[in-house]
Amino acid sequence: MFFEILSLTLLGITAGIFTGLIPGIHVNNVCVALLGFGSVLITYDIPTHAVASFIIAMAVTHTILDFIPSIFLGAPEGATALSVLPGHRMLLQGKGLEALYLTVLGGVWVTLIFVMASPVLIWALPVFYGAIKSHIHLILLAILAVMIATERKNRRWALLVVIFSGILGLLLWDNPVAPLTILFFPIFTGLFGIPTLLMSLGDKSIIPPQESWIGVIDRGLVVSGVIKSFFSSLLVGTLPGVGASQATVMAQEITRKRDAREFLVSVGGINTAVAIFSILSLYTIDKARSGAAVAISRFLESFGLNELVLLISVALIAISISSLLALFIGKRFLHLITRIPYHRISVVIIGMLVLLVLLITGPFGLLVLFTATSLGLVAPLTGIKRSHLMGVLLVPLIIFYSGVVI
């Protein structure tokens, strides 16, 4: 059993590298395939605990590696969408490696805090879940109101962006053409990725030589970002439908601190914490809060303390290896893109993203991409915060949790 678990853990890390680096490919796609081949795995007598180890190793690795295409290429998924702008800005300052390092730092520290706090969380999570599960729509509504009220540039444009992005989310929420989880790729690529690349083309941005070392990082900044991500992830780990992107918006709007480096630590921590908290939710409140957790619950007949300890241990192995791999791959990737004129890179990336959207989601996804891109350009052109574009998820969730059928 030990050999099988170790082997599939390493294989899961390899799969997480693949899903993390290739835009549009998500852990959930692999999990669906695994569930489809469930009978084959049983035929070859592969232990279900080893399969569960593969899934959690892949999920954790993915959360670390997927910041590379998000920051360097402007090709985000839902969980990393908000990292595009601060990461892109640091990239153009020659600090792309530092931007990636900050997200990795957040993921590593949140994982360590999670492990240390697990005994308390096992008791506290059911209590927390019971206290807020009927008020989540009010919490989201309050966050949305604060976002608009505190917009310094133009509140009317902020309100319009929230409304129209919310309408887009409502139209796609339960459409008959494609599931929303598949459409996340064109939605967030259009709202956050392609507008950033187009604005860079207009500004004739040039990627400067990148610093190959990491400067001194303010400890207070890291502590603040990690604390934000840890407590925000409690909400994500316990409530269905609330993802890393919504948690990031909440954390930033509640604390009102606008430091790009702290933001990257926070979003990196939240992204990884979501994957781990979903496992704890499976144990404490018997709720699967991610595609990976759903797949694990299908493979394991029971999920007790032994399974929880096993998967936390696997997560620690995955975070240790994937964090080093992310910096290794990121450094070499940066060396490559600085040798090519950035406007050419931007044009190629835009073309690649359009092609990937067409291949993965078809013509309907392409329509979603163009619509989202048009909406995504409004924020930078009017000077308002791009976080208002998260209305695409926040508005449907507010309506859903308020009991209204979408």
pLDDT recorded at residue 74: 63
The pLDDT value given to residue 202: 64
Q: What's residue 257's pLDDT?
A: 55
Confidence at residue 283, expressed as pLDDT on a 0 to 100 scale: 84
Sequential pLDDT tens for the chain (406 residues)? 777 888 889 999 999 998 888 766 667 667 767 766 665 665 566 778 888 899 999 999 998 998 888 777 765 555 555 555 677 778 877 888 888 999 999 999 999 998 888 888 888 888 887 787 788 788 788 878 877 887 777 888 989 999 999 999 898 887 777 776 678 788 888 887 788 778 767 666 667 777 766 767 778 888 888 888 888 777 766 665 555 666 666 666 555 556 778 888 888 888 888 888 888 888 887 776 667 777 888 888 788 888 899 999 999 999 999 999 999 998 888 877 777 776 777 788 888 888 888 888 889 989 999 999 999 999 888 888 877 888 888 888 888 877 665 5
pLDDT of residue 167: 93
Q: How far apart are CA 93 and CA 89, in angstroms?
A: 6
pLDDT of 250 reads 62
Domain ranges of the chain: 2-133+209-358
Angle, alpha carbons 240-244-246 (nearest 5°) = 80
- What b/e sequence results for 226-264 when a residue is b if at least 16 CB atoms lie within 10 Å of its CB, and e otherwise? bbbbbebbbbbbbbeebbbbbbbbbbbbeeeeeebbbbb
Question: What was the pLDDT predicted at 288?
Answer: 67
Given this model, what pLDDT does residue 369 score?
Answer: 92
Statement: the pTM of the whole predicted model exceeds 0.85: no
Q: Give the pLDDT score at 29.
A: 67
Query: Cβ neighbours of residue 243 under 8 Å, at least 6 residues apart?
Result: 78, 79, 236, 274, 393
> Among 115, 35, 4, which residue's Cα sits nearest to residue 296?
35
Q: Record the tokens describing residue 180, joined without a space.
A: 């929303």
CA dihedral 57, 387, 121, 288 (to 10 degrees): -50
pLDDT of residue 91: 81
